[in-house]
Amino acid sequence: MVKVLGYPLDKGSNPNLQCLRLTLDPVIMVHRPLLWYMIVGLVDTITTVSLFVQGFRHFDTPAWFRVFPPRPLLALFSNASPDPRIPYWYRPHRSTTKHPILFIHGIGIGLWLYLSFLRELVEQDPDVGILAVEILPVSMRITDPPLPKDA
């Protein structure tokens, strides 16, 4: 390990240090200022318009009003999601030779970070459908808890 790091490690241990156990330690939730949630709402609105322009359609849950910041454009233009717990964006699949794409975003501000990637996918092959699942509990929103593993 010393060769890999390029410097020697001190011998001994420090009993005051504790490891971070991601699956065992409790999650400490912190609410942000109202201004932050207003910015998240603005980014979400820009994302919504961009995805609509690219040919995506939104499918929302019946509990859309339980999300903060609110999503007024989606409340007006969304279709009902077949699953009452999973909102998603869908771009129709028309290709007979290629499979559709399932896209699940990471922790952050939702699909905003992936708009250019999704745009490139659409430009490369407009006939390939894309299903982009939204996971709002990991998208800087106050909402219901995440789905359980078996959902």
Domain residue extents for the chain: 27-138
pLDDT at 151 over 80: no
pLDDT at 53: 96
**Percent of the chain topping pLDDT 70:** 98
pLDDT band per the 50, 70, 90 thresholds, residue 1: low
- Specify the DSSP class assigned to residue 64: G
Q: How far apart are CA 30 and CA 66, in angstroms?
A: 18
Query: Among residues 115, 105, 100, which one has the least CA distance to residue 140?
Result: 105
Tens of pLDDT, residue by residue over 61-79, are: 887 778 899 888 888 889 9
Q: Where are the alpha helices (DSSP H) in 11-114?
A: 34-53, 72-77
Of 39, 62, 56, the C-alpha closest to 115 is 56
Kindly indicate the confidence band of residue 24, based on its pLDDT and cuts at 50, 70 and 90: confident
On average, the pLDDT of the chain sits at 90
Please give the average per-residue pLDDT across 70-94, as a whole number.
91
Contact yes or no for 115/144 (Cβ under 8 A): no
| Range 122-148 average pLDDT | 92
CB half-sphere exposure, 137, CA atoms < 13 A: 9
Model-level pTM? 0.78
